[in-house]
Structure 1
């Protein structure tokens, strides 16, 4: 059975707290497991969350600040320790390759798994994969940072009522789907468009450590789930901009303007102790579904409309 959910491994920002680990997010997407920004302690959080190294197929690093990457050595070594049979591909800013190399080989270990590297350069990238396209956009942060986006291709949904009206059933449905057209006994030709409608592919966006910029809106556009940093509350907007971050209100305004369905707020500064304050700020700007992420949450990707 296909599963699409976000497993939250950590929700802190620069400094962890008693209740929030450094960043870490595993997106289960059918047969794929995309690990985003494994900060310090991610390997242990995986154990608490019931996530195995074999679940990981891709690692996506937004940038090389410690709270987003210091868990890489443990995760990479665990992939080899557990002898993960499939290849794992790591995506990261090309300008930080020297950091990735140091993290990859931070200590001696027996490398028994295959880790492919896919450095990212330029303002945007689109990587076609079997089940979806993985897109990246360069963000606005003091160090080079990329946001990620999954775009599933549109499909078709058969309309049972139309099939019944036309007397199409059994193997003929498969023939119509395969060939795009079907000749009926009375001489009429039915096309796939006559008995089906577009089944919109799902979209997921992951935005960390950035000021509001054009790339933020591009990544969030039409997202079924938008995971967005909200390091600061709106009252500290000047501080957020100075340090290259967003507020809860800015994340919510992004969700509203992009037509996102579910906004997941995360990456909270340790200066705040009341998570409901982030929800209160966000609710002023977005009346859709909002989740204030907590460590070890499992958040389903909204089902197709």
Structure 2
């Protein structure tokens, strides 16, 4: 399987703790590297995690609260310092375009970066749609404009070696069959469907700061890896609603309804000491019986292979 995993750079919410850095998540997806919500300290956490500036090809910001974006100035300046030459796409809610402009120009540096800004309109939209994946954003329900992100690989096929061998199809003929869908060989006609089975593309969803809303379930649909904020324990559901956040149980509810394969809980309120975090795991597990990961800084979490 391709090189696809999530590197957790931080799991704190509004305020960091002695053991939890601010937000930051790096998704390695084949040749692409997507940096989500770089909060304060992200540049240093990247060093600890072995993530280089050259690996970042896209930056996706869900909203402009500080714990989700104040690490971006340092990351951008590090990219310039390390002479990143490729064009880096930066997605963010379009209503915050002026904020992003100030972030980029926050201090003096020799700005050699080639950035392509991708402001997300209020209704959301598709940010990339190529042969490798489709990246889209949808608006969430927070106290400020916020979006979630979904990355989906196109469906494909898996060749069956035994069926190919039984028909004597080898070498370049396999590629021709994949390209044309049919080949004629030794007086026989073989179709691609005879020697392959469908392979569903992998999906990744990233949901931060939001109340329960339809978009959260839509983003998470059939996700192989779902990263979801779980700022509060279920016992503090009132606070979650007031501040525009999810409880761990609500994150589990999204994962269960969406059919997600692996749920990553993160973005924990500073009100919970590390010893209290297992309660959030129990809250999610009460409604979701899939694979749950309680994220910790510098974790590497694989996208489940198919």
- State TM-score, norm by structure 2: 0.96
Q: Contact conserved, 2:131 with 2:154, CA < 8 A, in 1?
A: no
Give the equivalent residue in structure 2 for 1:140: 141
2:292 corresponds to:
290
Mapped to 2, the partners of 1:110 and 1:2 lie a distance apart of 36
TM-superposed CA distance for 1:161, in Å, is 2.5
By how many angstroms is 1:32 displaced? Answer: 0.6
**1:172 deviation in Å?**
2.1
Contact 2:226 2:260 in 1 (8 A): yes
Partner of 1:250: 250
Confirm or deny: 8 A CA contact 1:41 1:71 kept in the other structure: yes
Give 1:185 shift: 1.9
What CA deviation, in whole Å up to 9, does each residue of 1:259-305 have, x standing for no partner?
1000000000000112211111111011110000001111111111x
- Quick one: distance in 1 between partners of 2:42 and 2:22? 8
Q: Secondary structure at the match of 1:238?
A: helix
| Equivalence for 1:89 | 89
Quick check: 1:206 aligned with 2:206? yes
Q: Give SS of 1:9's match.
A: strand
Corresponding residue number in structure 1 for 2:235: 235
Conserved? CA contact 1:211–1:244, under 8 Å: yes
> Deviations 1:12-40 (Å, cap 9, x if unpaired)?
00000001011000001111110000001
What is residue 190 of structure 1 aligned with on the other side?
Answer: 190
How many Å separate the matches in 2 of 1:96 and 1:26?
Answer: 22
Contact 2:133-2:154 within 8 A present in 1 as well: yes
Q: Which residue of 2 aligns with 1:158?
A: 159
RMSD (Å) for aligned C-alpha atoms: 1.2
Q: 1:24-173 residue pairs with structure 2 within 5 A? A: 24-127=24-127, 128-173=129-174
Number of matched residues?
A: 303
SS of the counterpart of 1:28? strand
> Could you list the runs of 5+ residues in structure 1 that have no partner in the other structure?
none
Q: How far 1:54 moved relative to its partner?
A: 0.6
Name the stretch that deviates more: 211-220 or 111-120. 111-120
- Alignment partner of 2:179: what SS? helix
- My pick for the range that moved more, 175-184 or 20-29, is 175-184
Match of 1:281 among 276, 280, 283: 283
Provide Cα deviations, 1:135-163, integer angstroms capped at 9, x if missing partner.
10100001000000001011111112222
Query: In structure 2, do the counterparts of structure 1 residues 130 and 162 end up closer, same or farther at CA, with 3 Å as the change threshold?
Result: closer
Q: 1:124 touches 1:137 (CA, 8 Å); kept in 2?
A: yes
Unaligned segments of structure 2, at least 5 residues: none
- Cα distance between partner residues in 1 of 2:202 and 2:227: 14
- After TM superposition, the score normalised by the length of structure 1 is 0.97
Contact 1:252 1:283 in 2 (8 A): yes
